[in-house]
Every structure is written in C-alpha cells, then in structure tokens.
Amino acid sequence: MQNLLSEQTAGGLALKIIMIVLFFGAMIAIGIYCRRKATDVNGFVLGGRSVGPWLTAFAYGTSYFSAVIFIGYAGQFGYLFGVASTWIGIGNAVLGSLLAWVVLGRRTRVMTQHLDTKTMPDFFGKRFDSPALKIISAVIVFIFLIPYTASLFNGLSRLFTVAFGFTNENLAYILIVVIMAILTGIYVIAGGYMATAINDFIQGIVMLVGIVAVIAAVLASQGGLMQAMGTLATNDGWEYTSFFGAMPVFLFFVIILTSLGTWGLPQMVGKFYAIKSEDDIKKGTIISTLFAIVVAGGCYFLGGFGRLFVSNPKDFDSIIPTMLDKAITSDFLMGIIVILVLSASMSTLSGLVLTSSSTLTLDLIKKHVVKEEKMTEKKQILIMRILLVVFIAISATIAIIQKIYNFSEIASLMGVSWGALAGAFLAPFLYGLYSKKVTKAAVATGFATGVIIMMFSLIYKLCGATFMKATLSTGETLDFANSIIMGSLCMIFTLIEVPVVSALTYKFEVKKGILDPKKTDEIFSCFNGKVVVSLKDSIGNFIKDIKK
C-alpha cells in the first residue's frame, strides 16, 4: 500500500478512510434493511409502486447526475465554453427535469400501471402489442447501458487518484473499480429498488451540500467570484465569461443531448413507474427541478473556471481532479468531495444495473427462454440478482480496458450511450403515451434510426475520420459526427420521423390487422376512468362545488 500511495499526513488519510467506511457501511445497512421490501418482483423492481415524492425526486436526480457530469462533462464543457457551460445545468433543470416530469410523469405512471408493465421494453411490447418490439428494445437497453456504466467508474477513479495521492494510477484505478462494483452490488442485490431509492435520498443530500461547499472553496482560492471572472477574462479571453460562451452552437447540442435525452432513458423514465400518487408527482416535479438547479447548475458553473487551474490539459477528464487538488487544502472537505462523487456514481450505477437486470429477466428470459409458468417470483428475483452481478462485472471490465488503452474520454463514451438509447426510445415512448395512431412500423423505424446513427458515430470516431467537420460563419468548427451532436440530431430527427411514418403506415396496419384500434382505445381508457376518493382527500374541491 505504501508503494501505491504517495506521502500524506496520517491524520488526513485516516480521516478520509473513516468517512468512506462510514458511508459504505450506511449504504450496505440500508440494503439489508430493505430486504423485506424486495420479496416479490414488483417490490424488487418498483418498490411496490408506493415510493413517495422525496425519494422519487432524489432517485431521479441522483440517477441523472453522476461522476460523468461532475468529472467528465463539467471538466470538458467548462473548459470549452467557460462559465456559459452553466446553461447546460439550467437546461438539465428545466428541460431534463421540470418538463420531463410535467409531460411524462403522470401519463407514464397511469398507463404503465394499467398495462402492468415494469420496464420500458415491457411497455413497448404491451402498448404496441408486439413481442418483437419488446425483445429488440430489451437488447438495445442491455447493450447501450454498458458503456454508460463504464464511464461512471472512470470518473470516480480519477478523483480518488488525486484525493489519496495514488502513485500508480492504473493499479489504483483497478482497485477503486473493483471496490465500488462490489459494494454497489451488495446493497442493490439485497434491497432492490427501495434500497436504491433510500440510498439515493441520502446520497442526494450529500451531493447538494458537497457541490455548494466545493464551489465556495474553489472561488475562495481565486479571491472570490468577481476576481475569478476577471482573471479568466484576462488570461483566456472575454468569451469564456460571456453569456453564450466560446462555442454557442456546440453548447446548444450539449444542452439538447443532456436534457432532452433523459426523456428516452429507461433508467430515468422508470422512476415514474414507482411513484405513489398524483399529488406526489406534483411535489416530485418541484423537488427534482430544484435539485437539478443546484447540482447540475453548480457542477457546470464550477467547470467554467477550469482554465484557471489547467492551461493545457492532457485530457478533459483530468481538469476537475486537478482543480480540486490545487484548490482544496482541507482533508475533511476533500473527504466530502470524494463522498459526493461516490454518491453521484453509486446512485447512477445502482439505477443502471437494476434497469438492465430487470429488463433481461422480465423481457427476454421470461417466456422467451424459460417458460412463464416456471418463472416463479423467487426465481425471477434470483435471476435478476445474478444478472446484477454479471452486468456490474462486464461494465467494470470494460472500464478497466478503456482506461488502460485510453479508448475514449468520459463525455464521448456517455454520448454514444445516451444518443443511442434516447434516439431509439424517446419518440416512440413519448408519442406512445399521447397518440393512438403510432404504428409498429414507426416504432421499429425509430429504434433502427437511433442505433444505426450512433453506431455510425462510434465507427467514425474509431476510424479517425474527419470528413464531417465544418467551420461555421462564426468561426466555430464542429464535427457533426461527434457523438454528442449526432445524438442530439438523432433525437430531433426521430421526433419528426415517428409521426411521419405513423401517418404513412397507419391505414395499412389497420387494414392488415397489424394494428387494432379497439385494443388501442382500451389502453387509453385508463385516462378516462373515474376515481372515487374519500372526503378527507378532496375536501377542497367538495367545498368549491357546494359554493357553486
């Protein structure tokens, strides 16, 4: 261990270790406590559909913002855009949280319960009466969640290297990846969704406190906000302190990918399946939005000052760790920061692995591999727990390979994953909730478009091609095959493509019996039903009716 760590004060090192041990201990204890909530499939995957607004909102927010945001995106886009990168956080709050809850929250909760679906692929299968769409979407989820998960490990390990002074970066990376994978697996396997939700709430509080403390410390190290802004403008140019930043067009694409993309991510949309009531959805909307403003806005605002600490970075992923290493002198505060990024990473990782394992079990193995009558509740939970281990192991292995061979930066790795998943699912899911005339052909086309475009982007990058680069009239150079730009364009395109293909194929599918309007009407009847509640739950409306 002495060869692995550089010299630190014994007290400082001990303090950080104690803080982390206490953090991990709490997470595991919660997982064990929640075992009683994970005795059936509904409890293990959705917490019995009885999760309150605070837990759901924090679960949504902590799944949204991880080490990918804090280390990768904040570092890269803060360096490229300056303080204008804060707009990404604002976009995440308004478009990725507020509007996502308003547009998707209630309808998702109502229709998924009516259809008795527990995963996004299951929704596609029952909403469009198509086992094929269910299987295809399940495969897409499994494949493209893996690179996203791998990117989480990368961001976390870089911070640990700085916080603990590791001298052998690769060995430290492997050690951290293995520890994080094992400990996250323990509490998710033990407690399922409820353990994840409770842990997400605690981790969310750590993130809120931590990001405020980090921003205050970093700005203080530069003489305060105004002096930091002045130094940034003097050293690097006014555009890095301007309203729109140095690359406004690219900034727009980043906002679209990281904000609108959440509407099509299964691990994000799945949070709406589990919320308890309509009133909880309204409360959760407010809580989730405020959480995003502080955490996402804070992360990107912090990243905007990266140039004050790193003039010529060897890679973007090293910017935030270097900034913290130079600005933070308190061992206690550095311990808080480590726990902050641990919280962000573990909450997202737990949501991803639970989504992937439940999707494979319920949408692929059940019925298609093992006969439904043989898939008892206990067997389904057992298979999900086994797949949790498999998924974590695969992701950790890819993360280690990616690090050793320097395959891709965090932002690029995540861009491919988000682009493919959101590009494939956003439009079919959104229109599937609101329109009766979405066809199977349109959904399949949306799936294919998302996957094909993002695979092209990945191959383009691996081949080192440059033929899609262009210089705009503003002088800004863009690579339109970049995974972030391509993912954004993919989502926008499928939002147009799905209704157009539906309009062209609707009559044909009805005529050929591929689409049954009566079944669709029955599915949408869930929004027309009447709900009788007790007087104590509706006394406000009751009094208004009397006055009328």
The span from the CA of 88 to the CA of 302, in Å, is 12
pLDDT for res 434: 96
Residue pair 291/344 in contact (Cβ under 8 Å)? The answer is: no
DSSP 360: I
Instruction: For residue 543, give both structure tokens.
Output: 């009094």
Length of the chain: 548
Quick one: which H or E segment has residue 469? Answer: strand 469-471
Alpha-carbon span 204 to 198, nearest angstrom: 10
Which own/partner pairs from 458-466 qualify as long-range (CB within 8 Å, at least 24 positions apart)?
Answer: 458/416, 458/483, 461/408, 461/412
Cα 363 from Cα 118, distance rounded (Å): 10
Question: How crowded is residue 470: how many other Cβ atoms within 10 Å of its Cβ?
Answer: 10
Q: Give the whole-angstrom CA distance, residue 413 versus residue 462.
A: 12
Rounded distance between C-alpha atoms, residue 285 and residue 267, angstroms? 17
197: which residues sit within 8 A by CB, 6+ positions away? Answer: 47, 51, 55, 56, 58, 59, 274
Classify residue 370 by its DSSP letter.
B
pLDDT at 429: 97
The C-alpha atoms of residue 471 and residue 479 are separated, in whole angstroms, by 9
37 and 191 Cβ atoms separated by less than 8 Å: yes
For residue 280, which of 43, 537, 528 has the smallest C-alpha distance? 537
Q: Which pLDDT does position 490 carry in this prediction?
A: 92
CB-count exposure of residue 476 (10 Å: 0-12, 13-18, 19+): middle
Q: Which helix (H) or strand (E) holds 427?
A: helix 410-434
The greatest distance separating any two alpha carbons of the chain, rounded to the nearest whole angstrom, comes to: 79
How many CB atoms sit inside 10 A of residue 218's CB?
22
| CA distance linking residue 77 with residue 82, whole number of Å | 7
Transcribe 179-203 into DSSP letters: HHHHHHHHHHHHHHHHHHHHHHHHH
- 109: which residues sit within 8 A by CB, 6+ positions away? 272, 273, 275, 278, 281
Locate 464 and state its tokens: 């080192």
pLDDT tens-place string over residues 50-67? 778 888 888 888 888 877
Instruction: Tell me, letter by letter, the H, E, C secondary structure of 64-111.
Output: HCCHHHHHHHHHHHHHHHHHHHHHHHHHHHHHHHHHHHHHHHHHHHHH
* Residue 395 one-letter amino acid: S
The strand pair at 477-479 and 469-471 is best described as antiparallel
Residues in the chain predicted with pLDDT less than 70, given as ranges, are 1-11, 37-38, 47-48, 154-159, 161-163, 165-169, 406-414, 473-475, 529-548
Give residue 86's pLDDT.
Answer: 95
Residue 303 tokens read as 């990243």
Across the chain, how many H-helices and E-strands are there? 23, 2
Between helix 169-221 and helix 319-327 the angle, nearest 10°, is 60
Closest listed residue to residue 67, CA positions, set 126, 151, 187, 173: 151
Q: Which residues pair with 471 in a beta bridge?
A: 477
pTM metric for this prediction: 0.85
Residue 531, pLDDT score: 55
Task: For tokens 């890095």, name the residue.
Answer: 240
pLDDT at 543: 42
Please give the single-letter amino acid code of residue 242. Answer: S
HSE-CB of 224 using CA atoms within 13 angstroms = 2
By the 8 A CB rule, do 266 and 354 touch? no
Domains of the chain are 10-45+53-408 (1.20.1730.10)
